[in-house]
Amino acid sequence: MDLPGRSTEDVVRALDAILQTWQQINQRSIATGTTLLNLQSQATTAQQQQQQQQIRQPSLSLLLSQIHSEMEQSIRSIRQDLREYSKVISQLDTLARDGLSCVCAADSLMEMAGLTNGYVRELVKERREVYVKEYRRRLQLVGEMREGWVEMWVVDQIEYQVEEEYLDRLRCLRLARQWVANKAALDDLQKQKSVV
């Protein structure tokens, strides 16, 4: 039996928010990784300059200290992003466990837009598998921090055609809903004019 208050549209909205949240975290985190790469390069250059000089210059030491501080901040941000990635996966777990077990039939417009129960269920399952794989890869990179880990961090191994297709279907649904609402408003207006 379907639980009250839960519809396919509720699940569609929740999934839309989850997918967008993942991509926002991802964009931010990759940008942080790019910043960290630049800082590593700056630190290497400063260290080389320091080694070439027999007497240490306070300015170079201060610069290195600042760079290392910014690098540590970037790594803290990346660790925070890992926690955010984990939350998104938990939300997908909750949606798969609680949401999809009590989905009502989609309305005709949702069916026309391709947002069927079967499609949504499969999308939640498939994206969860993909996101978990990417999360584990990133978790291992940060956990081990081997040489070159930042270069691998800034490479996103997820292809987002699935998300793009989902957003296209949502756009089609919204356009259809808007058209129906406009038509209903126009019909009401014509009825009012005919009464007058």
In this prediction, residue 195 has a pLDDT band, given cuts at 50, 70 and 90, of low
Reported as a single tens digit per residue, the pLDDT across 90-134 is: 999 988 887 666 555 567 888 888 888 888 888 999 999 999 999
Cα dist from 57 to 39, 50, 65, 68, whole Å: 20, 8, 13, 17
pLDDT attached to residue 3: 39
Reported as a single tens digit per residue, the pLDDT across 10-20 is: 888 889 999 99
Those residues with Cβ within 8 angstroms of residue 125's Cβ, 6 or more apart along the chain or in another chain = 96
pLDDT(42) > 60: yes
Reported as a single tens digit per residue, the pLDDT across 46-85 is: 888 877 775 567 788 899 999 999 999 999 999 999 999 9
